[in-house]
Amino acid sequence: MTTIRDATTDDAAQIAAIYNHYIAHTIVTFEEDPVAADDIAQRITETQHQALPWLVCVDDEKVVGYAYASKWKGRCAYRYSVEVTVYLDPKHTAAGLGSKLYAALFARLTTSGYHVAIAGISLPNPASIALHEKFGMHKVAHFEQVGFKFADWVDVGYWQCQLSTPD
């Protein structure tokens, strides 16, 4: 049985293992060097100190996915907008876990008063697009050849949705 809970720094090694797969084998992240567990622990701490959620999906005591929100931009006027991210252990994709993580993340963001969620997606990535559109996100931008990884140029699209209605 899978559960969704807040991440702790004790989860950092398992999160790093998931993320490092995507660094080494895909264009879904533009990081190129493996990330150490200590770096992930610091990222978790920084995110949670900003009162933003970082969630993990745990199956049989093993982290099999994670999702988190980060500030969209540093300026004060952006304080109700966040960027969302989700990653799954490659052995646990297409099992609905990304949806479970995003449902929990979006609920937490909504109850915390955030207004807009934004997601950047390296293209092509039909599975990620489908997940984000399942949560009401729609494409708002397409940047051509803004990333360079594995000796090739990569486009990035941005999707967004409103989490709350304006007052």
- SS3 call for 66: strand
Render each residue's pLDDT in the chain as its tens digit; 167 residues.
899 999 999 999 999 999 999 999 999 999 999 999 999 999 999 999 999 999 999 999 999 999 999 999 989 999 999 999 999 999 999 889 999 999 999 999 999 999 999 999 999 999 999 999 999 999 999 999 999 999 999 999 999 999 976 55
Estimate to the nearest angstrom the gap between the alpha carbon of 98 and the chain centroid.
10
- The full set of domains in the chain, from first to last, is 2-162 (3.40.630.30)
Prior bond of 124 cis (ω within 30°) = yes
Q: Measured between alpha carbons, how far is 13 from 5 in angstroms, rounded to an integer?
A: 16
Q: Which residues of 106-143 are buried (b: 16+ CB within 10 A; e: fewer)?
A: bebbeeeebbbbbbbbbbebeebbebbeebebeeeeee
- Please, are residues 139 and 112 in contact by the beta-carbon 8 Å criterion? no
Instruction: List, in order, residues 6 or more apart from 125 with CB less than 8 Å away.
Output: 27, 28
Q: How far apart are the first and last CA of the chain?
A: 39
Nearest 5 degrees, angle CA 5-CA 11-CA 16? 120
